[in-house]
Amino acid sequence: MSTDVDGTVRDVAMHIQADLENLTTEMTSMFVHVIPEFRHDDAVRRLMVASTSSNLAAIVDMLRLSISLDDITVPPAAAEYARRFAQRDLSLEALLRAYRLGEHMFVQWAMTSLRGRELPADDALATTSRIALLVNSYIDQVIEGLVDIYENERSRWDTRSDAARAAQVRAVLDTEGLDLASAEKMLSTSLRGWHLAAVIWTEPGTAAPDTAQLLSSAAVLGVATGKTPQTISADEQTCWAWISSAGKPALDARRLEEELGRHPGLRVAVGDPSVGLEGFRQTFRDAQRARDVAATGADPERALFLHAQVGLAGLLVDRLTDVRAWAGGVLGDLMRDDEATARLRDTVQVFLEARGSFTDAAALMHVHKNTVHYRVRKAEEILGHPLTERRLDIEVALMACARLGLTRGAYPHDHP
């Protein structure tokens, strides 16, 4: 292999590396579009993105730095994603298909990069062949490790008594046309009354509890409702819990927050109470949507996420880029990411919630009425119009900023 071809391989790798963040988004979007098993909840989706990013970075480094294949191992994020894939009873074939589709996409990126270099045909072909061979060898080596990781985890997880139950709950949640009697038989419980679902998890980076500890932590839901929840493990850092009762469950949110204060690192997302089989499904969807809001990281100190409070944000969470662009059009410089502007947003939000009362807003914020008046007028100057104009749009945009963290570093490249 000539030095020129090796140098071109490095140049292509550096070109791809310069746009790796966007290319990672492109690849993960392709996975979600093409492979149904990759349509995860937000927490696992983030792990999927981390897995993809770590593999792409490793491939780029291998090409750019001439790292030997003997030194290639499964990236930690990719290994954890394979374990989570196994825990959720998703097929190994789907995981391996993603690696092959990703390999093809990477080589296409390399060919696109080469087209702009106007190389002689023989050199371009030699470079493409070299990149394709190296990427294929990387994928083969990583897949070999992933198969072992997946199968070992699948075997270990299948020995757990709650693995089958988790699969049954997923079937009840996802199977269209399933009748009430069949659903009740699958879960060995009545689904005719009221249901209240919760997702309970530990934050990434915290020590993962063993299954017994995680399931016992669901007792916080029981304390706050006065009823004993049913629980199952969804994966090693997540459990599902639900209350079923003849009457509508009442949740003491303040008590639940107090209990969570005794369990650092524990987070809970709670759905709205609902009735019957469809209600059982809906309250789970509500809880999962509330967890998606939590996963944005907009309020990292918060431990309790109630769908009743974040439901609208939950409907927007899958369209963050579009929502931020829309909110930016509504708020303009009122979305600037600095402390002073954040105070203005908070004040306007409280002022609007107080029906435009300077006195009530001041009382709620524990500041002087003149302070509220000044901040509201300053915000109107930034907006270029009074708050009464496009009031609903302003309220929704402010809510999106607060709930989804749109000005807290989620889009650092867009900040002025």
Give the DSSP letter of residue 206.
Answer: S
Two tokens, residue 179: 């009748």
Give the DSSP letter of residue 385.
Answer: S
Residue 168 is predicted with a pLDDT of 85
Two tokens, residue 119: 């190389």
Cα distance between residue 307 and residue 283, in whole Å: 9
The yes-or-no verdict on residue 226 having pLDDT over 80 is yes
Cα distance between residue 102 and residue 138, in whole Å: 12
Chain segment 159-171, per-residue pLDDT in tens: 565 677 788 888 8
Among the listed residues 263, 264, 268, 276, the one whose alpha carbon sits nearest the alpha carbon of residue 251: 268
The yes-or-no verdict on residue 410 having pLDDT over 50 is no
The yes-or-no verdict on residue 409 having pLDDT over 80 is no
211-226: string of b/e by CB count within 10 Å (b at 16+)?
eeebbebbebbeebbe
Give the DSSP letter of residue 305.
Answer: E
Two tokens, residue 320: 């963050």
Chain segment 294-319, per-residue pLDDT in tens: 888 888 888 999 999 999 998 988 88
Question: What's phi and psi for 208, nearest 5 deg?
Answer: -70, 125
Chain segment 96-149, per-residue pLDDT in tens: 999 999 999 999 999 999 988 878 888 889 999 999 999 999 999 999 999 999
Burial bucket for residue 198 (CB in 10 Å: 0-12, 13-18, 19+): buried
Angle between helices 369-383 and 358-365 (to 10 degrees): 110
Element (H, E) at 325: helix 320-331
Whether this model's pTM surpasses 0.85: no
The residue written with tokens 């199952």 in the block is 232
Q: What is the β-pairing status of strands 304-306 and 266-270?
A: parallel
Confidence of residue 50 (pLDDT cuts 50, 70, 90): very high
